[in-house]
Amino acid sequence: VLIRADLGVETALRVTDSLASSRYGRDVSDSEVRAVMAAEVEKVLSPVAKPLELDLSHKPHVILVVGVNGTGKTTTIGKLAAKLTDGGLKVMLAAGDTFRAAAIEQLKIWGERTKSPVIATKLGADAAGLAYDAFEKAKEAGSDVLI
Protein backbone atom coordinates (compact mmCIF):
# COMPACT_ATOMS: atom_id res chain seq x y z
CA VAL A 1 0.00 0.00 0.00
CA LEU A 2 2.81 2.42 0.89
CA ILE A 3 4.66 1.81 -2.36
CA ARG A 4 1.45 2.22 -4.38
CA ALA A 5 0.98 5.53 -2.56
CA ASP A 6 4.32 6.57 -4.13
CA LEU A 7 6.07 6.76 -0.78
CA GLY A 8 9.14 5.06 -2.24
CA VAL A 9 10.69 1.73 -1.34
CA GLU A 10 13.20 3.10 1.18
CA THR A 11 10.59 5.10 3.08
CA ALA A 12 8.04 2.27 2.93
CA LEU A 13 10.60 -0.12 4.44
CA ARG A 14 11.46 2.41 7.13
CA VAL A 15 7.79 2.78 8.08
CA THR A 16 7.13 -0.97 8.14
CA ASP A 17 10.31 -1.66 10.14
CA SER A 18 9.32 0.97 12.70
CA LEU A 19 5.82 -0.44 12.90
CA ALA A 20 7.11 -4.01 13.26
CA SER A 21 9.47 -3.07 16.09
CA SER A 22 6.81 -1.11 17.97
CA ARG A 23 4.18 -3.86 17.85
CA TYR A 24 6.37 -6.76 18.93
CA GLY A 25 4.07 -9.42 20.38
CA ARG A 26 0.86 -7.39 20.31
CA ASP A 27 -1.88 -6.17 18.02
CA VAL A 28 -1.69 -2.59 16.82
CA SER A 29 -4.70 -0.32 16.41
CA ASP A 30 -5.41 1.74 13.30
CA SER A 31 -4.59 4.91 15.22
CA GLU A 32 -1.20 3.49 16.25
CA VAL A 33 -0.43 2.61 12.63
CA ARG A 34 -1.34 6.16 11.57
CA ALA A 35 0.80 7.65 14.34
CA VAL A 36 3.84 5.57 13.34
CA MET A 37 3.35 6.44 9.68
CA ALA A 38 3.02 10.15 10.48
CA ALA A 39 6.15 10.09 12.64
CA GLU A 40 8.19 8.29 9.97
CA VAL A 41 7.01 10.61 7.19
CA GLU A 42 7.90 13.58 9.41
CA LYS A 43 11.40 12.13 9.94
CA VAL A 44 11.84 11.93 6.17
CA LEU A 45 10.51 15.41 5.44
CA SER A 46 11.98 17.39 8.35
CA PRO A 47 15.53 17.61 6.96
CA VAL A 48 14.34 18.93 3.59
CA ALA A 49 11.25 20.93 4.54
CA LYS A 50 11.74 24.64 3.99
CA PRO A 51 9.36 27.57 4.10
CA LEU A 52 8.17 28.74 0.70
CA GLU A 53 10.11 31.84 -0.27
CA LEU A 54 8.61 33.93 -3.02
CA ASP A 55 10.70 36.37 -5.04
CA LEU A 56 8.11 39.04 -5.75
CA SER A 57 10.67 41.38 -7.31
CA HIS A 58 9.97 39.51 -10.55
CA LYS A 59 6.22 39.15 -10.91
CA PRO A 60 4.65 36.80 -11.39
CA HIS A 61 6.59 34.36 -9.25
CA VAL A 62 6.05 31.04 -11.05
CA ILE A 63 5.52 27.79 -9.17
CA LEU A 64 5.69 24.74 -11.44
CA VAL A 65 4.07 21.63 -9.98
CA VAL A 66 5.00 18.26 -11.47
CA GLY A 67 4.49 14.66 -10.43
CA VAL A 68 3.01 11.32 -11.34
CA ASN A 69 -0.73 10.78 -11.71
CA GLY A 70 -2.84 10.56 -8.60
CA THR A 71 -0.43 12.12 -6.11
CA GLY A 72 -2.47 15.19 -5.21
CA LYS A 73 -0.91 17.86 -7.40
CA THR A 74 -4.18 19.63 -8.17
CA THR A 75 -5.29 19.58 -4.54
CA THR A 76 -1.89 20.87 -3.45
CA ILE A 77 -2.14 23.69 -6.00
CA GLY A 78 -5.56 24.61 -4.63
CA LYS A 79 -4.40 24.60 -1.03
CA LEU A 80 -1.32 26.63 -1.93
CA ALA A 81 -3.49 29.14 -3.79
CA ALA A 82 -5.73 29.41 -0.73
CA LYS A 83 -2.77 30.03 1.56
CA LEU A 84 -1.29 32.66 -0.74
CA THR A 85 -4.56 34.50 -1.38
CA ASP A 86 -5.33 34.43 2.36
CA GLY A 87 -1.95 36.14 2.75
CA GLY A 88 -3.07 38.94 0.44
CA LEU A 89 -1.32 37.84 -2.74
CA LYS A 90 -2.92 37.91 -6.18
CA VAL A 91 -2.74 34.36 -7.57
CA MET A 92 -3.46 32.99 -11.04
CA LEU A 93 -3.76 29.28 -11.79
CA ALA A 94 -2.82 27.54 -15.04
CA ALA A 95 -4.53 24.23 -15.86
CA GLY A 96 -1.44 22.61 -17.37
CA ASP A 97 -2.74 19.05 -17.11
CA THR A 98 -4.48 19.17 -20.47
CA PHE A 99 -4.94 15.40 -20.69
CA ARG A 100 -7.23 14.81 -17.70
CA ALA A 101 -10.55 16.60 -17.91
CA ALA A 102 -11.18 16.19 -14.20
CA ALA A 103 -7.94 18.06 -13.43
CA ILE A 104 -9.12 21.11 -15.34
CA GLU A 105 -12.53 21.05 -13.65
CA GLN A 106 -10.99 20.45 -10.23
CA LEU A 107 -8.63 23.41 -10.70
CA LYS A 108 -11.54 25.62 -11.76
CA ILE A 109 -13.30 24.75 -8.50
CA TRP A 110 -10.18 25.75 -6.56
CA GLY A 111 -10.03 28.93 -8.60
CA GLU A 112 -13.59 29.78 -7.56
CA ARG A 113 -12.87 28.97 -3.92
CA THR A 114 -9.76 31.15 -3.83
CA LYS A 115 -11.02 33.83 -6.21
CA SER A 116 -8.03 33.07 -8.44
CA PRO A 117 -8.47 33.25 -12.21
CA VAL A 118 -7.81 29.96 -13.99
CA ILE A 119 -6.25 29.84 -17.44
CA ALA A 120 -7.38 26.68 -19.20
CA THR A 121 -7.77 25.35 -22.70
CA LYS A 122 -9.43 22.40 -24.35
CA LEU A 123 -8.61 18.83 -23.46
CA GLY A 124 -5.54 17.54 -25.29
CA ALA A 125 -4.15 21.00 -26.09
CA ASP A 126 -0.45 21.87 -25.95
CA ALA A 127 0.47 22.27 -22.28
CA ALA A 128 3.59 24.33 -23.05
CA GLY A 129 1.53 26.78 -25.07
CA LEU A 130 -0.96 27.04 -22.24
CA ALA A 131 1.85 27.74 -19.76
CA TYR A 132 3.20 30.53 -21.96
CA ASP A 133 -0.27 32.08 -22.38
CA ALA A 134 -0.87 31.87 -18.63
CA PHE A 135 2.45 33.59 -17.91
CA GLU A 136 1.61 36.43 -20.30
CA LYS A 137 -1.88 36.80 -18.80
CA ALA A 138 -0.49 36.76 -15.26
CA LYS A 139 1.93 39.56 -16.19
CA GLU A 140 -0.87 41.59 -17.77
CA ALA A 141 -3.11 41.08 -14.74
CA GLY A 142 -0.38 42.02 -12.27
CA SER A 143 -0.55 38.67 -10.53
CA ASP A 144 1.95 38.09 -7.75
CA VAL A 145 2.07 34.33 -8.26
CA LEU A 146 1.30 31.96 -11.13
CA ILE A 147 0.85 28.31 -10.24
Alpha helices in 46-126 (DSSP H): 73-86, 101-114
The model's confidence at residue 3, banded by pLDDT at 50, 70 and 90, is confident
**pLDDT for 23:** 67
CA–CA separation, 66 and 86 (whole Å): 24
**pLDDT for 101:** 74
11: pLDDT strictly greater than 90 = no
45: pLDDT strictly greater than 70 = yes
The CATH number of 61-146, from 3.30.230.70, 3.40.50.300, 3.20.20.70, 3.30.365.10, is 3.40.50.300
Task: Considering only residues 110 and 3, tell me which one the structure prediction assigns the higher pLDDT.
Answer: 110
83: pLDDT strictly greater than 70 = yes
The model's confidence at residue 24, banded by pLDDT at 50, 70 and 90, is low
43: pLDDT strictly greater than 90 = no
- Buried b / exposed e along 83-99 (16+ C-beta atoms within 10 A): ebbeeebbbbbbbbbbe
**pLDDT for 64:** 96
Instruction: Report the mean per-residue pLDDT for the chain.
Output: 88
Q: Which amino acid is at 133?
A: D
Alpha helices in the chain (DSSP H): 9-22, 30-45, 73-86, 101-114, 127-141
Its pTM surpasses 0.95: no
**pLDDT for 99:** 83
User: What is the percent of the chain with per-residue pLDDT over 70, rounded to a whole number?
Assistant: 95
